[in-house]
Amino acid sequence: MLKAVRIISFFLAIICMGVIIYFSFSSKVEIPEFLSGKFKIGHCLAYVAFSFFLFICFSDVNPHRFFLWNILPMISSFLLASLFGYAIELCQPYFGRHFAFTDMFSDAVGAFAGTVMGFFCVLLLCTIERKRTSS
């Protein structure tokens, strides 16, 4: 994959981390109910973006060995995003927030969805590249 795309996705993943940390530890931020309600949509969306950019940063667009070279990036982006969510939940009680298993679950679901979305985006790019080179 182009080096510029990897660098941009790395910086976007860092920005996502900063936004997640800010909203996770700040008690002064007013979050709309539909994002912080019982369905935990905000958690899910934040970790979708974070794991998507992580996967794009780690992935490899090689048309001949696409699946083999992208198994480790899939696992690592999912685990890194999920472990980051777990660490955030462990640290929140020290900042006046509470630990919630539902938050961890929605973080993991978002991390999985973002990784799968990233996988299919890179697969699409790989397919386009394969067709372009075979023509």
pLDDT single digits (tens) 56-108: 988 877 666 777 777 888 999 999 999 999 999 999 888 888 888 888 999 99
Q: Is the pLDDT confidence value at 17 over 90?
A: yes
Least confident of 13-22, 61-70, 73-82, 117-126: 61-70
Q: How many CA atoms lie within 13 A of 106 on its CB side?
A: 18
pLDDT in the model for residue 63: 63
How many of the other CB atoms lie within 10 Å of CB of 135?
A: 5
pLDDT in the model for residue 109: 95
With 0-12 CB in 10 A as exposed, 13-18 as middle and 19+ as buried, what is 118?
Answer: buried
For the chain, the domains span 3-25+40-130
Q: Which parts of the chain are beta strand (E)?
A: none
Token pair listed for 51: 């794991």
pLDDT in the model for residue 129: 75
pLDDT in the model for residue 8: 92
Q: DSSP for 28-53?
A: S----HHHHSTT-HHHHHHHHHHHHH
Amino acid at 27: S
pLDDT in the model for residue 59: 85
pLDDT in the model for residue 37: 62
pLDDT in the model for residue 69: 75
pLDDT in the model for residue 24: 85
| CA 74 remoteness from chain centre | 10
Rounded distance between C-alpha atoms, residue 126 and residue 78, angstroms? 21
Rounded distance between C-alpha atoms, residue 43 and residue 40, angstroms? 5
Task: Find the radius of gyration of the CA atoms of the chain.
Answer: 17
